[in-house]
Structure 1
Amino acid sequence: MKNYIVLFLIGHFLIPLQGQGQLLEVKQTVFGMDCAPCAYGLEKRIQKMDGVESASVSLNDGLLTANLKQDNKLTLSDIRQAVEESGFKAKEANITVTGTVTKNESGSLVLETVVGEHFILEAENERKLKDISNTNGSLTITGKAETSDGAGTKLWIASFDKTKA
């Protein structure tokens, strides 16, 4: 009997985590930086975040680039919050993220990461969304993320690949 309980718990809790993922790279547009010490301070703050492999800030481009460690627990929201707390404004971001695609109640495709972050998938053409909806398993999607109207973060798909197991 104990073996069945253990098998049930493994199947119920571990198997659903397969195929889910996390944020891999963020190129966050930042407004309000007007000096080199500002850019340096933001860069150092992002580098100190648990899960960040490397970070750089370009004052000229107004761009924060963060490469994240494998199995990190960071969300786009965490990075945007750090930008805002540093006194700047976080705008759109180009991200690379892995996760599992499902449909929500309204029929939209949603990418969910292992930490529960949800991205509502959008595309310039319906073909790309159809191709994604026909793909099983985990996907890596690169695109432009922008804040939505309370329903989640919209992710405009530039490219996608089936994640290697």
Structure 2
Amino acid sequence: MKKIVLIIVLAVFGTLSSNAQITKVDQEVFGMDCAPCAYGLERGLNEMEGIEKVRVSLNDGKAYLDLTTNNSLSLKQIQEEVKENGFSAKNAEVVLEGQLVKEDNTLKIRVNNEEYYFTSNTEQSLVNSLQPGKVKVRGIVQDEEDGQVTNKWKIKITEVL
């Protein structure tokens, strides 16, 4: 009986610690040209479940988002919220925790229902330092046209965390 309880406890905690998620997003925003615009975007992003802290900078043209632990937000959802507020979402610097997998000789990181494919300009030393399984990385996600945002992204890994 004790072994069964131990197995259940390990399975539950193992599942909780292996959650894939985005933990931080610095999203470039195109089209903000006034303080009320920035405030409206900040208010809209703050209403999203899974957002812990938002700061929108008109001067930087960016939205800085810290996400809650164990959130299920996707970059697509964040960019759709930016678009719903009347702006275009451009490149984003993100911190991801996800599963590194290799399929068809291609490396990608799976985070919730999204896949992040490495760009060719990612330093090979960073790629070589990654092992299949759970990884945490910082990188720049390339801009996609607003009407063509999917759950597949190109990312330049800048740091393995």
Note whether the superposition's TM-score is higher than 0.5.
Answer: yes
For residues 93 and 18 of structure 2, the distance between their equivalents in structure 1, rounded to whole angstroms, comes to: 22
Structure 1 Cα separation of the partners of residues 46 and 58 of structure 2 = 16
Q: Does 1:142 align with 2:141?
A: no
AA matched with 2:136: T
Per the alignment, residue 3 of structure 1 pairs with none
Q: CA deviation at 1:146?
A: 1.2
* d(CA) in 2 for partners of 1:18, 1:146: 28
Q: 2-side partners of 1:16 and 1:69: how far apart?
A: 17
CA contact (8 A) 2:117 2:153 kept: yes
Aligned amino acid, residue 140 of structure 1: K
Unaligned runs of 5+ in 1: 1-6
Instruction: Check whether the contact 2:114–2:151 (CA below 8 A) recurs between aligned residues.
Output: no
How large is the Cα RMSD of the aligned pairs? 2.5
- Aligned residue pairs, count: 149
- Give the conservation status (yes or no) of the 8 Å contact 1:20–1:100: no
C-alpha deviations, 1:57-112, integer Å up to 9, x for none? 0001100001000011100000000001110010000000100100122x221000
Single out whichever of 151-160 and 42-51 deviates more from structure 2.
Answer: 151-160
TM-superposed CA distance for 1:137, in Å, is 3.0
Q: TM-score, normalised by structure 1?
A: 0.80
Gaps of at least 5 residues in structure 2 are 1-6
1:74 match: 73
TM-score normalised over the length of structure 2 = 0.82
